[in-house]
C-alpha cells in the first residue's frame, strides 16, 4: 500500500475545527464548543481511529505520485467541502432479504425501507406512483398527508399549496405538494426530495424491479439525514407515525396496481 502526501500538513486538533467552520459557513448556524464527540459510526470503528490521533503521521514519500501522476492529492478543506455538499441519498438500497421492513443507518443517513411483491408489471406499478399527490391524494391516510402540509405552511413552508406541476405523470423537477421530483426513470425509479421545513434533509424513493415469478418487487424507502440533535429528536418522535403511513402507502400502491385499471383517481384506498 502506497501513501501520497500533499503540500500542507494538518494538526490533529485542526481537522475537527476546520470541518465545523465549513459546516457553519454552509448552514449559517452558530456553534459552541463541547467536550464530547458525536459520530454516526459505531464505537468499534471510531474509537481506534480517534486513539490513533496520538501518533503523528507525516507522509514524505513521493513514490505514489511518481507511479500514478494522474492522481492528485486533495486538500483537507476541499475534501470536507465535497463531503458536506454531497447529494443524498448516495447510498445503495439494502440488498433484498426475506424481511419486508429494513432499518439501516450508515454515514449519518437513515434508510427506512419496506418492500412487497405486486401481482402487476413494473409499468402498471409505475403508473400509480407517477400520479400520487395533488388532487389524486396519497391513496391512504390522505388526511395526515394534508395535515403535515398544513403544519409546514404554519411555519412558513411550502405546504400543499403547490399541488402538482402536471395532472398526469411526472418528470424531473416537477412539484408534487411539498415534494420535488429529483429523479425519475420510467417503470424503474422515482426519487422525491422534501422541500418542507425540516431539521435535516428527507427523500422518498420508489424502486421497481421485475421478479422471476412475473410479479414486481416494489421497494419504498424513506431517507433522512438529520441535522444535529433536533434532527434526531424529530425522526424518532415521528417514527411511529412514519411507520404507519409508509407501510400503508406501499400497500395501497400495490393494491391499486393490481386493479384491472391501475390509474390514479381522487378516491383513496382505505
How far is Cα 183 from Cα 220, in angstroms, rounded to an integer? 14
> In the chain, where are the structural domains located?
13-84, 101-258
Long-range contacts of 55-61 (CB under 8 A, 24+ apart): 58/5, 58/9, 59/3, 59/4, 59/5, 60/5, 61/2, 61/3, 61/4, 61/5
The reported pTM is: 0.69
Provide mean pLDDT across the span 248-270: 73
At residue 86, the pLDDT reads 56
Q: Model confidence at 270, in pLDDT bands (50, 70, 90)?
A: very low
Report domain 101-258's class: alpha beta
Q: Which three cell numbers stand for residue 212?
A: 422471476
Query: What is the Cα–Cα distance from 176 to 163, expressed in whole angstroms?
Result: 6
More confident residue, 193 or 103: 193
Which three-class secondary structure state does DSSP give residue 242? helix
According to the per-residue pLDDT averaged within each range, which of 68-72, 83-87, 101-105, 186-190 is highest?
Answer: 186-190
Is the CA virtual torsion 184, 224, 79, 77 positive or negative?
Answer: positive
pLDDT at 209: 93
Distance CA 99, CA 116 (A): 10
Using DSSP's 3-state secondary structure scheme, residue 62 falls into coil
Burial class from Cβ neighbours inside 10 Å (0-12, 13-18, 19+) for residue 173 reads: exposed
What residues contact residue 214 under an 8 Å CB cut-off, 6+ apart?
Answer: none
With cut-offs at 50, 70 and 90, classify the pLDDT of residue 264.
very low
Q: What is the pLDDT of residue 106?
A: 80
**Whether residue 237 has pLDDT greater than 90:** yes
81 has pLDDT over 80: no
**pLDDT of 160:** 87
pLDDT-derived band of residue 52, with 50, 70 and 90 as boundaries?
confident
- Judge whether residue 27 has pLDDT over 80: no
Mean model confidence pLDDT for the chain: 81
With a cut of 90, say whether residue 50 has pLDDT above it: no
pLDDT at 75: 75
pLDDT in tens, 182-211: 999 999 999 999 999 999 999 999 999 998
Mean pLDDT of 232-251: 93
Amino acid at each position: 500500500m502506497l501513501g501520497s502526501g500533499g503540500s500542507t500538513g494538518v494538526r490533529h486538533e485542526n481537522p475537527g475545527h476546520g470541518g465545523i467552520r465549513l459546516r457553519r459557513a454552509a448552514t449559517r448556524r452558530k456553534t459552541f464548543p463541547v467536550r464530547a464527540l458525536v459520530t454516526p459510526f459505531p464505537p468499534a470503528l471510531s474509537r481506534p481511529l480517534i486513539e490513533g490521533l496520538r501518533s503523528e503521521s507525516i507522509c514524505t514519500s513521493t513514490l505514489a505520485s511518481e507511479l500514478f501522476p494522474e492522481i492528485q492529492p486533495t486538500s483537507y478543506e476541499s475534501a470536507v467541502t465535497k463531503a458536506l455538499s454531497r447529494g443524498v441519498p448516495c447510498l445503495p438500497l439494502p440488498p433484498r432479504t426475506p424481511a419486508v421492513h429494513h432499518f439501516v443507518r450508515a454515514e449519518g443517513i437513515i434508510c427506512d425501507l419496506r418492500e412487497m411483491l405486486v401481482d402487476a408489471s413494473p409499468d402498471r406499478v409505475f403508473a400509480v406512483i407517477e400520479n400520487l399527490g395533488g388532487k389524486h391524494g396519497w391513496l391512504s391516510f390522505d388526511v395526515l398527508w394534508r395535515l403535515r402540509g398544513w403544519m409546514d405552511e404554519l411555519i412558513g413552508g411550502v405546504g400543499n399549496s403547490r399541488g402538482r406541476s402536471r395532472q398526469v405523470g411526472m418528470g424531473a423537477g416537477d412539484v408534487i405538494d411539498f415534494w420535488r421530483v429529483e429523479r425519475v426513470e420510467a417503470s424503474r425509479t422515482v426519487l422525491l426530495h422534501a422541500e418542507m421545513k425540516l431539521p435535516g434533509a428527507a427523500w422518498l424513493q420508489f424502486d421497481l424491479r421485475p421478479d422471476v415469478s412475473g410479479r414486481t418487487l416494489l421497494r419504498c424507502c424513506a431517507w433522512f439525514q438529520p441535522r444535529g440533535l433536533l434532527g434526531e429528536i424529530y425522526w424518532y418522535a415521528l417514527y411511529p407515525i412514519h411507520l404507519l403511513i409508509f407501510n400503508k402507502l406501499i400497500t395501497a400502491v400495490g393494491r391499486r396496481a393490481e386493479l384491472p385499471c391501475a390509474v390514479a383517481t381522487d378516491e383513496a384506498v382505505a
